[in-house]
Amino acid sequence: MTDHELVIDAQALTKIYPAQIGQAAKTALDGLELRVARGETFGILGPNGAGKTTTQKLFLGLMRPTKGTVTMFGARPDEAAVRKRIGFLPENPYFYNYLTGEEFVRFCGGLFDIPRKTLEERLDKLLELVGMQSAKEQQLRKYSKGMLQRIGIAQALINDPDLVLLDEPMSGLDPVGRHQFREIIKGLKAQGKTIVFNSHILSDVEDICDRFCILLHGRKVAEGTVAEFTSGGKSLEEHFVKVVNESNQGAAMIG
Amino acid sequence: MQKIVDLANNTFRETIRDRVLNAALVFAVAMIGASVLLGTLSIGQDIKIMRDLGLAAIEVFGAAIAIFVGTSMLFREIDKRTVIVVLAKPVTRHEFLLGKFLGLSATLTCLLVAMAAAYAALLLYSGGWDNALLWQVALVWMQLLVLVGLSLMFSAFTSPVLAMLFTFGLYLAGHNLDSFKVLGEKASPLVKALTEALYYGLPNFSHLDIKNQVVYGAPFSLPQFGVAVTYGAVYAALALAVAMVVFSRREL
Amino acid sequence: MLAQFVPAALALLLAAGGLSWRMERFHQAEGQARWIVPRGDVVRAIATDFENLLADSFWLQFLQYNGEKLTEDPLERRYENLLNGFYLMTDLDPHFRDAYLFGSWVLGDAGEADGAVALLRRGRERHPADPWYAHQLGYIEFLYRRNLAGAIAAFGDAERLFGQGERQDPRMALRCAKMKAYLAEKHDRRDLAVRTWRGILASARKAGDKHMVGIAENALRRLGVTE
């Protein structure tokens, strides 16, 4: 695989949750076309329930698309070789209660078959990077939301991934944490990693992303670079609201 | 392989640190101890009651924990979304379930050993110990493995409450299949065929239960024990295989 | 808050205890609780492989309902469901030897000697090599049924069983023989009595049991036999 190849290639990606007792069928994602190239930092923007998490689950092969296809590094997303190259942080991570932070990240590393010595070195470095060295021996049930988020980032990076998928990575972090986290992402970017993250917070996208798209009710309503959107002197927020209103999908959003 | 060991180890640590387990162990030991009290009220039957009640307590508490933890384990992973953290990594769903199975089995083994140790200590002290009793402990271990398999199987496609009900239902039925068969023998050929099918198809926990015999040190051949253990292992593997098939189709 | 809560809780607890005591008085007015014995096949069908434990629990129930009566005036005793209860215990746990043996004493005492014999026959059929059932049957036949012939036969069986196999117990075999000899004497079967006492004398001499030798010699003298 060459450097110019696409890391993510989603074509007409559609996910419909089948009807259940007391629940009608729900279209979570409708014909998404998305391509992310190597080294890009890509933001998926949208209100809660827009289909961002579904998209990432499809990227990870945790779900099968109802229609359309997605290839990751040119292969099927559920192949082990693909997953070896991906780091993933779920939304509001909540890990094994009775493990300590250190045990948990080590456990995650073990799942990648990382040699013990490399694993211990990386573990040490990552705990330092996310600022969790002092709390690494506490059980996870005693962690605050922000601490869980930090340990979540450490486990997402334990395999030194080529692609990092982050689902609402900023939620639960205080302003200092947010700042640190942006620095971490910038560091990853500098290493040439591909980063895809979901967010409903515009300023995050503005600050970090090369490109982004806006999802609304499972449909992609806009895609472009931050520069394209902020040309003409308007802020990203103004553009965003405009796009949303144009889509006639209501303005009940933006957290 | 290392992955499965890690997954099992993680499940083991997660379950053994669960407080429910401590509570169960305390209750089981208390019950084994209470058999002394009942024994003193029984006019000469103290050893018999200690043996019977102790074996029953070991089995009941072991099964309760196997069903309770076994059916909630997978649900908890899915509910807290820890499962997607693990399955986003190069881990197949089969490996994941196998790791869960082995981890909980290890925890239950520790619980069983602890309960059996308390039981043995009491009987050695009161002079009622017989090595034959260990055969039953070994078979209870097989019962617990089958229960873990069944718990995972049911929780792969239904809610924890329903999975618990189904597993417990099979446990009860599996201990009473003999009366089931007797019932069918006097019925019409169709009903008889049905009860026979259920008799051989459902997990027959009575095959893994000789507590009514070992307390009298009744003759028990090694081949019979071997067949019983193999039966338990085959049934646990069957339940686990079904769990894997169901779970691999599940959307997370 | 706590200062109000604790007295209130204590008062309620006290009230609950008092009411519970009052309820119990109602129940007592309804008369003595009966020992209810369910049908064995029903219990067995739902026993879930806990047959032994259930047998133990019925044993404890039996003691709970009937234990006091064992020490009461015999004429005042009213037992309930005794034979069914012991059938149930021994069906659930066929090895429960004390349920057969103790059960037969209680049944004999309650005027149900036929039931006692039936219970022991059951035990003997299930454990033909165990001498204790025959031994007990001898006493029941003798003491409660006045069936000397039956008692002699039973003690004879017990003597034979105590003298052979894994459960060999020469001392018990001798005791059974002694009972057999006494009963034969009582039953005007002089020949059998003499034969049995002679056997006892020989065994006792062989074992060097001087006490027993004396008893046997006295008995033979009483029967007019001189060695």
Which residues of chain B neighbour A88 with C-beta distances below 8 Å?
84-85, 88-89
**Amino acid identity for residue C75 in this structure:** L
Inform me whether the C-beta atom of residue A159 falls under 8 Å from chain B C-beta atoms: yes
Q: CB of A118 within 8 A of CB of A82?
A: no
Res. B230: pLDDT tops 60: yes
What pLDDT, in 10s, does the model give residues C145-204?
A: 999 999 999 999 999 999 998 878 999 999 999 999 999 999 989 999 999 999 999 999
Give the strands of the sheet with A67-72, arranged side by side.
A26-37, A6-17, A67-72
Q: Which residue of C has its CA nearest to B44?
A: C98
Q: Which residue of A has its CA nearest to B73?
A: A96
d(CA C152, CA A194): 100
At residue B219, the pLDDT reads: 65
At residue B187, the pLDDT reads: 84
Q: Which residue of C has its CA nearest to B38?
A: C60
pLDDT averaged over every residue in chain B? 92
What pLDDT, in 10s, does the model give residues B193-223?
A: 988 899 999 999 999 999 998 998 866 788 9
The pTM assigned to this predicted structure is 0.88
Closest partner residue to B56 (CB to CB) among C45, C50, C93 is C50
Tell me whether residues B14 and A97 touch, CB distance under 8 A. yes
ipTM: 0.90
Write the DSSP assignment of B92-136 as a string of letters: -HHHHHHHHHHHHHHHHHHHHHHHHHHHHHHHHHHT---TTHHHH
Q: CB of A188 within 8 A of CB of A162?
A: no
Tell me whether residues C49 and B52 touch, CB distance under 8 A. no
Res. A251: pLDDT tops 70: no
**Other residues' Cβ atoms within 10 Å of the Cβ of residue A78:** 16
Q: CB of C80 within 8 A of CB of C35?
A: yes
Please compute the mean of the pLDDT values over residues C17-26 and round it to a whole number: 87
Strand partners for A43: A197, A212
Closest partner residue to B252 (CB to CB) among A62, A99, A155 is A62
Tell me whether residues A111 and B7 touch, CB distance under 8 A. yes
At residue B251, the pLDDT reads: 84
Delimit the domains of chain A by residue range: 1-85+163-172+191-255, 89-160
d(CA C189, CA C173): 20
A1-85+163-172+191-255: which CATH topology? Rossmann fold (3.40.50)
Q: CB of A197 within 8 A of CB of A167?
A: yes
B17/chain A closest Cα distance in angstroms: 6
Count of domains forming chain B = 1
Say how far residue C192 (Cα) sits from the centre of its chain: 28
Q: Which three-class secondary structure string do you get for chain C?
A: CHHHHHHHHHHHHHHHHHHHHHHHHHHHHCCCCCCCCCCHHHHHHCCCCCHHHHHHHHHHHHHHHHCHHHHCCHHHCCCCCHHHHHHHHHHHCCCCHHHHHHHHHHHHHCCCHHHHHHHHHHHHHHCCCCHHHHHHHHHHHHHCCCCHHHHHHHHHHHHHHHCCCCCCCHHHHHHHHHHHHHHHHHCCCHHHHHHHHHHHHHHHHHHCCHHHHHHHHHHHHHCCCCC
pLDDT confidence tier of residue A3, bands split at 50, 70 and 90: very low
C135/chain B closest Cα distance in angstroms: 19
Please give the C-alpha separations between residue A45 and each of A38, A53, A59, B77, B159, in angstroms, as whole numbers: 20, 11, 16, 27, 33
To the nearest 5 percent, what fractions of chain B are helix, strand and coil?
80, 0, 20
Res. A227: pLDDT tops 90: no
pLDDT averaged over every residue in chain A? 87
Tell me whether residues B81 and A94 touch, CB distance under 8 A. yes
B 175-234 residues inside an 8 A Cβ radius of C:
175-176, 179, 182, 205-206, 209, 211-212, 215-216, 218
Phi, psi of A37 (to 5 degrees): -90, 160
In this complex, the chains that touch C, judged by 3 or more CB pairs closer than 8 A, are B
pLDDT confidence tier of residue C18, bands split at 50, 70 and 90: very high
Tell me whether residues B56 and C102 touch, CB distance under 8 A. no
At residue B155, the pLDDT reads: 95
pLDDT confidence tier of residue C49, bands split at 50, 70 and 90: very high
Tell me whether residues B10 and A107 touch, CB distance under 8 A. yes
Closest partner residue to C52 (CB to CB) among B52, B175, B179 is B52
What pLDDT, in 10s, does the model give residues C104-122?
A: 999 998 889 999 999 999 9
By DSSP bridging, strand A211-216 and strand A219-225 are antiparallel
Domain assignment of residue B43, given as a range: 2-248
